[in-house]
Structure 1
Amino acid sequence: MRSINKIKLVEGVYSPINSADVLLSLIADKIKFHNLQILTIKNKDDPKVKHAEMRVAELKESKKEVTELIIKARDEGLYMKIDGMINIEMFKK
């Protein structure tokens, strides 16, 4: 039996500076999470390490993209609408 829950993590209209606080904090926390995983796994050839390293690289690229959007919004005097939904699925393996 699968159970799916949806949680609205972020919703609202933000100035560029507040958008930076929200979005870059979320990305930084995920990077920190994956870096901790990498450090705690003893076998560095473990597929979990490779996956975590790949996610860190992806998140760093996302951080660059978000930063560019924030700078563009700031420079053009725009606000940013952010809508972040998290889907949580529970199941037995």
Structure 2
Amino acid sequence: MEKVLVNKQTEDLVRGEYSAVEAREIVSNLISQKINFHNLRDFSSYERYGKPDENSRTRIAELKASRKSILEIIDAAKEEGKTVKINSNITIELI
């Protein structure tokens, strides 16, 4: 059977209600993985070409800022004894 290529697809990455502790772990891990990816990319660029990957450096700063603001919200939820609802989709598109 031949597989048909889809040009664009969206999937749920994270979906549900979590305790503040669980939400903090989920968000921290997701963002940390992306930061690590860009750190490796930057390091590789420096090793190969003698210059940093400015795109990755910019993205690292953006991700750190996002992590900070998201964790502030989650920490506030914890202080108030609330749960956290997280919905995160990933869209893959062939271009």
TM-score normalised by length of structure 2 = 0.87
Written as runs of structure 1 = structure 2, the 5 A alignment for 1:6-85 is: 6-41=10-45, 42-43=48-49, 44=51, 49-85=53-89
Superposed CA RMSD: 1.5
Structure 1 unaligned residues grouped into runs of 5+: none
TM-score normalised by length of structure 1 = 0.89
The runs of 4+ residues in structure 1 deviating greater than 3 Å are none
Q: CA deviation at 1:70?
A: 1.2
Structure 2 unaligned residues grouped into runs of 5+: 1-5
Q: Percent identity among equivalent residues? A: 36
Q: What letter corresponds to residue 15 of structure 2 in structure 1?
A: E
